[in-house]
Amino acid sequence: MIIRYTKALLIIILLITSCKKVNSNEAVDEGSVNSNVYNSKEIGWTITIPNDWKVTTKQQSQSHTNKGKEILENQIGDNINISGLKNLIGFQKNPFNSFQSTSEPFEIEYPGEWKENNILLKKLMYDTYTDQDMKTDTSATTVVNIDGLDFQTYEFIIYGPDGEEIIKQQMYNRLINGFDFGVNINYNNEADKKEMLDAWVNSKFKK
C-alpha cells in the first residue's frame, strides 16, 4: 500500500514559531475565516476559534509542513508527494500550545485501507521521534464522538533529557467526504489544552 503522510507532517514539528494575529481568508488553503469562526465547505466543518488565540498564516503553515516533509523524507529515505495536502485552520497561544488541521484526498482502494494507513503512520511518527533520541510514550488508539461523527484518537508524550515532559500531542483523524481529515492539538498545560479541546469538541459537522 502507499502510505499517506499528512498526519505525520502535521505532528512532526514540535516547536511552532510565533505568529501574528490574522482573521482573514489568507490564513487557510481551503475554507473561510469570518470573525473568529472558521468554516470548511469541503469537510462540512465549523469551529469557533478561542478568544485571544492567534491564527496561523498560510506562510507559517507551509513552512511547518516543509520542515516536517524534510524530516520524514530523511526518515524513510524517499521523496514524499504532498501536492494534495491542504492546511485548514490553525491557531496558537504560544509556541508550545497550538491547534492545527489538514485535509488530503484519500481514495479507498480496498476495505480497511484508511484504518491500516493510520496504524502505519502512528508507528512511523513514534519511530521518527525515538530515532532522534527523543524519549516518547504513546497511548492506545481509541474512538471519540464529535457532533455525531467518530474520530480515531491517540496521544504522544515527548520528554526532555532529564525525563521531564516537554509537550503532549493529541491526534484526531477521520475520513470525511473523500478527504483524510486530521486535527493535532499540542499542549504543555491543562488550561490551554482545555481551551483548544473545548473548541474542537464543540465543532459542528454538516451531515
Q: What is the DSSP letter of 25?
A: G
The closest of 95, 82, 87 to 183, measured between CA atoms, is: 87
Query: How much is the pLDDT for 11?
Result: 46
Question: Is 197 buried (19+), middle (13-18) or exposed (0-12) by CB count in 10 A?
Answer: middle
- pLDDT score recorded for residue 73: 61
Could you read off the pLDDT of 125-160 as tens digits, one per residue? 888 888 777 789 999 999 999 999 999 999 999 888
Confidence (pLDDT) at 178: 94
Taking only the tens place, the pLDDT of each residue in 2-45 is 445 444 444 444 433 333 444 445 567 788 888 899 999 999 99
Confidence (pLDDT) at 63: 58
Q: What is the pLDDT of residue 173?
A: 94
SS3 (DSSP) at 171: strand
Report the percentage of the chain scoring pLDDT > 90: 45
Position 13 scores a pLDDT of 45
The domain covering 6-205 belongs, at the CATH homologous superfamily level, to Mog1/PsbP, alpha/beta/alpha sandwich (3.40.1000.10)
What pLDDT is recorded for position 164?
87
Q: Looking at residues 108-115, what average pLDDT do you find? A: 92
> pLDDT tens for residues 63-109?
566 666 666 666 666 666 666 788 899 998 887 899 999 898 998 99
What are the residue ranges spanned by the domains of the chain? Answer: 6-205
Confidence of residue 50 (pLDDT cuts 50, 70, 90): very high
Please tell me the predicted confidence (pLDDT) of residue 166: 86
DSSP H helical ranges for 46-203: 58-76, 113-131, 190-201
- Cα 71 to chain centroid distance, Å, stands at 16
- The pLDDT of residue 94: 84
Cα–Cα–Cα angle for 93, 147, 49, rounded to 5 degrees? 20
